[in-house]
Amino acid sequence: METKQLGNSDLHITSLGLGAWAIGGAGWASAWGPQDDNDSIAAIHRALDLGINWIDTAAVYGLGHSEEIVGKALKSTSHKPYVFTKCERVWDKDGDITGSMKDIRREAEDSLRRLQVEAIDLYQVHWPIPDEDLEEGWSTMADLQREGKVRWIGTSNYSVSQLERALKIAPITSNQPPYSMINRAAEPEILPFCLKNGIGTINYAPMHSGLLTGAMSKERVAALPLDDFRRTAKNYQEPYLTRNLAIADHLKTIAARHGVAAGVIAIAWTLHNPAVTASIVGARGPKQVDGTIPAATFRLTDAEYAEINAFLAANPAP
């Protein structure tokens, strides 16, 4: 499986990375509903067996649970993937989540313990909140890198102005924005800035949390668990839902030409952007890994990319 260098690092990563958001399980804000830990471990092992060489998680996913499961899975495989995680989302004894740039050092120690690794390959600030503490937080990240607790440091959900402020303190290896056909907010400024400044981009939610897999329907949305964040997410509600499912249907027609799933086309669309180094693709079990793994090597033609963009332009969001 081909790899690309991530930003200024010595990390050469596959075009797909395994996302561990849903692996955090239920019982916290932004959960995906119940998740079986054995399925999670099987998904991780399947992805690694198929050649994926990096995993992206975060401390807040399941309030530490996702990192623990990743650590457990890596102890039971001979594969040695890169491990990426994130900080700055902290929680109290009641599970209430806030942002803090002041606890990053403690968070790093906690993540190292949960992941059972000696160093984190890429440590990312999850959200630049509160904004006024950005410089303090990024300075701590640079200190952790110099100390060897983390190998490379990156950002997530940063604007161009926030990236510029961080760059004055220390180099940024990568930025992690949401990017999909449904959410193109990073396209006008953030992606070009990262490309120009040698900052790698690993986008999350290329299938917009399942909307563009081709398996979603209005009935399935209505049946989502009560603690699945997607039940109340804007793009899962009308008047957006009908338009988004129409996009997925269009992707199915292109996917049928190649014998792949619609989600593969959705991922490939994001990878077609030259600023994108690789995409984060979540999976809750081996079957989902098998469904998206073709995106690691599949590429859209320029004509197919233009065809999709024409459809999106003709069917704008309400």
Residue 257 falls within a domain, yes or no? no
Residue 105 falls within a domain, yes or no? yes
pLDDT at 197 over 90: yes
Query: In sequence order, what DSSP letters do the residues of 63-119 get, joined into one string?
Result: TTHHHHHHHHHHHT-S---EEEEEESEEE-TT--EEE-STTHHHHHHHHHHHHT-SS
Residue 52 falls within a domain, yes or no? yes
d(CA 277, CA 303): 21
Tell me whether residue 204 is one of the annotated catalytic residues: no
CATH of the domain at 286: 3.20.20.100
Residue 44 falls within a domain, yes or no? yes
CA dihedral 139, 141, 142, 144 (to 10 degrees): 130
**Residue 215 identity (one-letter amino acid):** A
Of 42, 49, 48, 50, the residue nearest 83 (C-alpha) = 48
Pair type for strands 97-99 and 54-56: unpaired
Catalytic residue of the set 61, 179, 204, 236: 61
Query: In sequence order, what DSSP letters do the residues of 150-192 get, joined into one string?
Result: EEEEEEES--HHHHHHHHTTS---EEE-B-SSS--TTTTTHHH
Whose tokens are 């079986």? That residue is 36
Residue 32 falls within a domain, yes or no? yes
Residue 246 falls within a domain, yes or no? no
- Residue 121 three-state SS: strand
**Number of domains within the chain:** 1
Q: In the chain, what is the straight-line distance between the N-terminal and C-terminal CA atoms, in Å?
A: 39
Evaluate if pTM is beyond 0.85.
yes
| pLDDT of amino acid 297 | 96
- Looking at beta carbons, which pairs linking 60-63 to residues 24 or more positions away fall under 8 Å? 60/24, 60/28, 60/30, 60/86, 60/89, 60/90, 60/91, 60/97, 60/126, 61/20, 61/21, 61/23, 61/24, 62/23, 62/24, 62/25, 62/27, 62/28, 62/31, 63/24, 63/27, 63/28, 63/91, 63/95
Instruction: Please state whether the peptide bond connecting residue 239 to the residue before it is cis, i.e. omega within 30 degrees of 0.
Output: yes
Pair type for strands 278-282 and 16-19: parallel
Residue 264 falls within a domain, yes or no? no
Residue 238 falls within a domain, yes or no? no
d(CA 130, CA 93): 21
Q: Average pLDDT for residues 57-72, to the nearest whole number?
A: 97
pLDDT at 149 over 90: yes
Per-residue pLDDT of 244-287, as tens digits, reads 999 999 999 999 999 999 999 999 999 999 999 999 999 999 99
Confidence grade of residue 65 (pLDDT, cut at 50, 70, 90): very high
> Percentage of residues in the chain with pLDDT exceeding 90?
94
**How much is the mean pLDDT over the chain?**
96
**Domain span including residue 123:** 3-210+270-298
